[in-house]
Structure 1
Amino acid sequence: MRVISAPVVPRLAAAILVLVGIQLGVLGARPAQAADPEQLDPDRVVRSVVGISAVVPPDSQSARTLGTDREGSGVVIDGSGLILTIGYTVMEASQIEVTAADGRSYPASMVAYDPVSGFGLLRAEMGFTAPWLRLATADAVKEGDTLLALSGGDNRSATAVKLVSKREFAGYWEYLLDEALFTFPPIRAFNGAALVNREGRLVGIGSLLVMEAVEGRGLPGNMFVPVSALEPILADLLAYGRRQEPARPWLGVTLREELGRLMVEKVSPRSPAESAGLRPGDWIVGVGGQRFSGLADFYRKLWGLGPAGVVVPLEVMRGATLTPVPVTSADRVRFLRLNPTL
């Protein structure tokens, strides 16, 4: 069992009080006696953030890129031990353990994984208890707000960060958020970290370290997935382990955007793209008879062709030759071992 020294919690809570003082000063809040009735409770916030350790079988699809031993954070979001994290930390895990703020470790089971938002849900077991945080609404924060970023486990910390951008994010792994949250300065233990507002509500879950927190400027920071994306799908995730709507068509490619064109950098083994003959170095220049303006536009045109299983007509440049490559798409989740112990 990993043990975190007990004084860490009160030290972090005290640090949060200092950070909140800075935050309220930055935001020009009213004095405490006239403040909003819902106030940040530093001790509760610290204890709601847990560390996560996951072991993934080496023959799993994600082990090739994410490794077999993963560490991250998560946030307790209800009184039954339900924990929200970023999905790639626990995806395909055969063993998951959460570490509470007092250093005690508990086994946890996977509840759901949502490839659209990127969220993962766990439930801690064997007597786990911890305070939980309420979720913030989509309009709870604005650019310029000072927030708290908290990590759990061996990297337990609390850092004041500024929300420097709210904008679209397109990932090279067939992933798109209509609106993501970008913060500065960067924190190192970002995956699954909690982004908390001045009322102590959870605003976002840490996903990435980025080199441009502000578009067009070389300002490093972190990308957080807003928790407002969870509310519409939470009931489905708890009941079925996934959202109950037609799955998006998945190709199985890693893409790099250059001047509006997309180069295939990697092709996932046994994926639809591999079956169709796509290979690294191919340039995708059209989809469904349409041109596109970049990665996000490509995804929207791809997903607009129909649900998973639809044949995706790609136009591919190989050298100087334009080649049609039809790809029979698939449901990404069916290629993952989300119950690897079975």
Structure 2
Amino acid sequence: MSDKIEQQIQISQELRPTQASLTYDLETALESIVSVRARIPDDAFTASFLGTDRSGHGVRILDTGLVVTIGYVIAEAEEIWLIGANGQAVTGHVVGYDYETGFGLVQPLAQMDLPTLDLGDSDIISTGDKVVVAGCGGVTQSLDATVIAKREFAGYWEYVLDEAIFTSPPHPDWGGAALISANGQLVGIGSLYVENVAPKIAAGNMIVPINILKPIMEEMLDYGTTLKAPRPWLGLFVTETPENLVVAGVLDGGPAEKADVRTGDAVIGVAGERTRDLADFFRRIWAQGEAGSEIPITIYRDGDTFDVHISSVDRRAQFKSPELH
């Protein structure tokens, strides 16, 4: 794997932050951000839909060099490189991945002569706040942005955040990018490009708030994940339409496919209760018990409404574990 930063699309000059408008040392803050490159085995569970060569960003947050990133970049990685904007490159090792929040932690296996970024308080970030969304590469990879909204987010891959941060304009290389507050602290990690983030706002980024990492970071470092009971996982992708929730896909060999759930099925409810929206659907599934619970789903297909009972599993058990170094 290359130890050089690949050519990136540079942020337009007029959209970049400037030191004159900030109270913290912008250059030092940006030096804490590294490029994360991961190679995934061809037979990994996530290889078919996330690819085997992944890249994103990460932020150094501890004196040990610990890097926080968005988990999908490093999930099931067999090889990781961390590359600083100064060109320094070291290998890294996945030390933690929490599927519920989406955070991943990587420990560099050699010293990097780079600063760290303090963790801030994402709870006090408000709509209208001016922030910087930054990738590795200094100011040319950094974007002056505004917090457009803080609200619930549901992802079609069985993922819900009670409150995500939405910023605009969108950073073009958002995965693992740092959300830096007005006082120069890390308050979130970039996860997605999203459309229609707010009225009259065509696009932006969804950011995972850093405060939801703080209570679980020690467990992630000690055990590789959290110790809470795993949620039931069905292995299906669901999307919202004006009329219903609709199955957009099922994973080969997953619980939903084994129960004969099909792409195009309309999802009516869970355990006899009609679902209101995507977040409500997933929360009703999780309310049925831990991974391994049988989940009753009401399906509408070809004019018939019927119940399907899906034997859920632990999502974590599907993933390849990283080799210890």
Q: Secondary structure at the match of 2:196?
A: coil
Task: Assess if the C-alpha contact under 8 Å between 2:256 and 2:310 holds in 1.
Answer: yes
Identity of aligned residues (%): 38
2:18 paired residue number: 19
Q: Which runs of 4+ in 1 moved over 3 A?
A: 1-5, 15-18, 153-156
Task: Assess if the C-alpha contact under 8 Å between 1:57 and 1:340 holds in 2.
Answer: no
Aligned length: 319
Normalised by the size of structure 2, how large is the TM-score?
0.92
Q: Shift of residue 177 of structure 1?
A: 0.5
Q: Aligned to 1:283, which of 261, 266, 286? A: 266
2:121 paired residue number: 137
In structure 2, what is the Cα distance between the partners aligned to 1:61 and 1:143?
38
Q: Deviations over 1:237-284 (max 9, x none)?
A: 011111111111110001111135221111111211112111212111
Q: Aligned to 1:152, which of 115, 136, 154? A: 136
Q: Shift of residue 138 of structure 1?
A: 3.1
In structure 2, what is the Cα distance between the partners aligned to 1:311 and 1:231?
32
Q: Deviations over 1:105-125 (max 9, x none)?
A: 110000111110001000011
Q: Show structure 2 runs of 5+ residues with no match.
A: none
Q: Shift of residue 52 of structure 1?
A: 0.7
1:199 paired residue number: 183
Q: Shift of residue 139 of structure 1?
A: 2.6
1:50-199 map, 5 Å: 50-152=34-136, 157-199=141-183
Q: Deviations over 1:97-155 (max 9, x none)?
A: 01012111110000111110001000011222321111111333111011011101599
In structure 2, what is the Cα distance between the partners aligned to 1:260 and 1:45?
46
Q: Aligned to 2:206, which of 223, 239, 247? A: 223
Q: Secondary structure at the match of 2:227?
A: coil
Q: Secondary structure at the match of 1:211?
A: strand
CA distance change for structure 1 residues 275 and 156 in 2, over 3 Å: closer, same or farther?
A: farther
In structure 1, what is the Cα distance between the partners aligned to 2:16 and 2:303?
62
Which amino acid in the other structure matches residue 120 of structure 1? G
In structure 1, what is the Cα distance between the partners aligned to 2:282 and 2:250?
16
Which amino acid in the other structure matches residue 18 of structure 2? L
In structure 1, what is the Cα distance between the partners aligned to 2:158 and 2:209?
18
Task: Assess if the C-alpha contact under 8 Å between 2:19 and 2:26 holds in 1.
Answer: no
More helix by share: 1
In structure 1, what is the Cα distance between the partners aligned to 2:88 and 2:26?
20
1:240 paired residue number: 223
In structure 2, what is the Cα distance between the partners aligned to 1:318 and 1:160?
47
1:333 paired residue number: 316
Q: Shift of residue 306 of structure 1?
A: 0.9
Task: Assess if the C-alpha contact under 8 Å between 1:285 and 1:291 holds in 2.
Answer: yes
1:271 paired residue number: 254
More strand by share: 2
> After the TM superposition, which of the residue ranges 180-189 and 156-165 deviates more from structure 2?
156-165
Q: Secondary structure at the match of 2:232?
A: coil
